Each structure stands twice: as structure tokens, then as C-alpha cells.
Amino acid sequence: MIDKLLAEDLYYHMVLGRQFEYAAKEHYMQGEISGFLHLDIGQEALSVAAMKAFEKGDVFSTYREHIMAMARGVSPKAVMAELFGRQTGVSEGKGGSMHLFDPSHFFYGGDAIVGGHIPNAVGCAYARKYQGNQSGVMVVFGDGATNGGAFFESLNIAAAQKLPLLFLCENNRYAIGTKITRVAPFEKQANKAEPYMPTMEVDGMDAIAVYEAVQKAQHYLEEGHGPLFLEAFTCRYEGHSVADANSYRSPQEMALCKQQDPIEKLKMHMLNVLGISSAQLETLEKRAQAEVDAAVNFAAQSPQPPLEARFDHLFAEGGNDAV
């Protein structure tokens, strides 16, 4: 059950996430951030609640991962500084928006190859099982990834080996401009997992539902039953990346999708069911905004990495001298 404290935590991170994304967009427009910037606005419920619920396990994600990384515990400063490409960024300016990694928070990316991280998550789940670690692994991917070989091979292997792996499909129905039903024979991608493992579906715009579903999933993994598939339907409010004009979705479609706003939904629940006051919510919102402002300041004032830093981290052993 979701108590006040948890609801506040979810709300705080969702608001933080959204403000963070808007700030990132703004600084992209101003030229401080470059490359591909994929905003997660509209999908905060999934990104925050899944991470919070899966606290004990390992997580692998995609290039649309700012909010997830922060919900995992990575500081907004380190994320924003990475977007700015600064030395203080979580990947020291080498990775950028699509490549946030923080093993200290069991967060392993940030991968820019659609579906490419899924086999990595399978391997990590193998390691965890081998080590007798019961918390399991969660891999987050989009509907677009469910058409690629990497995804399918992973379903089969995870099932054959009974690995503690939660497949979390964030189905926002689009891969850039291509609607999922144009390139797959159905809208529900959980169908594809059916031969291999139990599947669940959840409203990805409902933070509490997501939290409960992922929590249930983690228990299932802990009990050693093998992998599980969870599909969450969501909606991204922005274009695929900041460079995408989003012209393939009608205003009507966008309006419909925004009616289910995940932050509003959680807010209503907190006000009406949990009895949290709007003043309390406002406090959280302000704290989030302050954190984002601080992150932007931090990023803007952080140094560029020195040019020689580009030769660092090619190898772990002996640095560059080893080779």
C-alpha cells in the first residue's frame, strides 16, 4: 500500500523530473545542451514509480532515462551537468543525455541502441542468479524495441534459464513517427512474451498502479519463478527528441493523451484520498524547482573536461600506458 511518505516521494520525483525536462529543453534551445535530447514528459509515473518500487534490484534503461536515473538516486546536478557535457557530469561529459550510468545506484544506462541493452540485462540477471542474489534485474524498453531480434532472443533465454528478470515495456505506441500497429500485428506487445512467461499490464500514467505492479513483480522474481513481463501504456507529450516536430500526432490525439496526466492523477489521489494538503504539495513542487535550478546552476558553472580527458577510460587496466 502506498502511504503518504511514499506518495510524497513519488510526487516529488515526478515533478522534479518534469521540471528537469523543461529546463533541459530550454537549455537545449539555448545551445548549452546538444545531441539527441529525448524528453520523458508525460511518462513520469512510469519512470519514477518503477524505479522506486524496484529499489533493491539492478536497472537497465534506454536513452530516455534522465528521470529514471534521478529516481534511482543519481543527483540532478550530475545528470544536468552530463547534459551540459561537463566534467562533473555523471559520465564526465563523455556520454551525454543518452548515456547516464551509475553502478553505485545499480543503474546501468542509458543505451542508445534500441533494444541493445536487453541482452545485457539478461546477462546481469544470470550473474545475480549465479551469485544467489534475489533482487533481480529490471530492463525498461519501448514498444519500438519489441520488434528487434535482441528483445526476442532475450525472452527465450530468460525463460529457458528462469532468470530473475522483469521486462518492463513502456508502450507509448510510437517509435519516433511510426505507430506500433503499423509494424507489429497488434498493439499489446505483451502478446509477444506470452509463450515464455507470465505477463501483466498496467496503466503507465498511474504512478500508484505502476508502483504496486512493479513491487509485485519484484516479489515474484525474488521467489525464484523466473522472468516476468509487464507492459505499461503511456504517452509522451513531446516529440521523439527535441529535434522532432511531433507532426504525426493530431492535436486531438495529444489532448486526449494529456487528459490522463500522471502528475495530476497522483495529485488528486494525494489530495482526495491521502488527505495531503495543497500547501504540502506546493512545498514539494518548490523544492523540486529549487533542485532543478540548482542543477542548472551547477551544470553551467562546472568546468569543461580538459581536452586530454578524451584519452581517459579507454581501458580499465593501466590506463593508456598499458597499450
Partner 1 sequence: MLYREALNKALDETMALDDNVVVLGEDVGLYGGSYRVTEGLVAKYGETRLIDTPIAELSIVGNAVGMAIGGLRPVAEIMTANFALLAFDQIINHMAKLHYMSAGKITLPMVVRFPQGVSKQLAAQHSESYEQMLAAVPGLIVLAASDVNYAYHALKYAILRDDPVIFIEHELLYNKKGEIDFAAKLDPLKARVVKAGKDVTIVSYLKMVDDVMKAVPLIEEKLKVSCEVIDLCSLNPVDYETLAASLEKTGRLVMVEEDHRTGGYGAQIVSWAAEQMFYALDAPPLRIAGEDIPIPYNRQLELASIPTPESIAGEIITWGEKHGI
Residues that bind ligand TPP (CB under 6 A): 64, 112-114, 142-145, 172, 174-176, 240
- For residue 23, the SS3 value is helix
Q: Tell which one of 18, 64, 66, 128 touches partner 1 (CB under 8 A).
A: 128
Closest to Mg ion by CB, 104 or 247: 247
Distance CA 233, CA 255 (A): 16
Give SS3 for 297: helix
> Which listed residue (122, 166, 221, 230) binds partner 1 by CB under 8 A?
122
Residue 98 near partner 1 by CB under 8 A: yes
CB of 46 to ligand TPP, least distance (A): 10
Choice between 127 and 290, CB closer to partner 1 = 127
Q: What's the grid cell of residue 224?
A: 525464484
* Candidate list 85, 136, 239, 262; residue touching partner 1; CB under 8 A: 85
Task: Please tell me whether the peptide bond between 110 and the residue prior to it is cis, using omega within 30 degrees of 0.
Answer: yes
Give the x-and-dash track for 241-260 against partner 1 (CB under 8 A): -------x------------
Binding map of partner 1 across residues 165-194, x = CB under 8 A, - = no contact:
----------xxxx---xxx----------
Q: Is 61 in the site for Mg ion (CB under 5 A)?
A: no
Q: Is 150 in the site for partner 1 (CB under 8 A)?
A: yes
Which one of partner 1, its own copies, ligand TPP, none interacts with residue 164, CB within 5 to 8 A by kind? none
Q: Strand, coil or helix: what is 178?
A: strand
Asked if residue 231 lies in contact with residue 200, where contact means CB atoms within 8 angstroms, the answer is yes
Site residues for partner 1, 8-67, by CB under 8 A, read 34-36, 58, 60
Strand ranges (DSSP E) for the chain? 58-62, 107-111, 137-142, 165-171, 174-175, 178-179, 199-203, 228-233
What span, in angstroms and rounded, lies between the C-alpha atoms of 168 and 164?
13
256, 273, 300, 314: residue in contact with partner 1 (rule CB under 8 A): 314
Binds 194: which of its own copies, Mg ion, ligand TPP, none (CB < 5-8 Å by kind):
its own copies
How many helical (H) and strand (E) elements, i.e. helices and strands, does the chain have? 11, 8
Residues near 215 by Cβ (< 8 Å), separated by ≥ 6? 53
109 binds partner 1 per the rule CB under 8 A: yes
Nearest to 46 by CA among 239, 203, 257: 203
- C-alpha angle 243-249-252 in degrees, rounded to nearest 5: 135
Residue 67: Cβ within 10 Å count: 26
Of 187, 194, 264, 312, the one binding partner 1 by CB under 8 A: 312
- Min dist. Cβ of residue 174 to ligand TPP (A): 5
* 34 interface partner picked from its own copies, partner 1, Mg ion, none, CB below 5 to 8 A per type: partner 1
Q: Which is nearer to ligand TPP, 114 or 296 (CB)?
A: 114
- In the list 42, 119, 226, 262, the residue contacting partner 1 (rule: CB under 8 A) is 119
Sketch the per residue contact string, 257 through 296, with partner 1: x for CB under 8 A, - otherwise.
Answer: ----------------------------------------
Task: Rank residues 279 and 322 by Cβ distance to partner 1 and give the closer one.
Answer: 322
Q: Measuring CA to CA, how many Å separate 201 from each of 53, 74, 212, 289?
A: 16, 28, 12, 32
CA distance 181 to 158: 26
Q: Are 89 and 82 in contact (CB under 8 A)?
A: yes
**Binding footprint of Mg ion on the chain (CB under 5 A):** 142-144, 172, 174
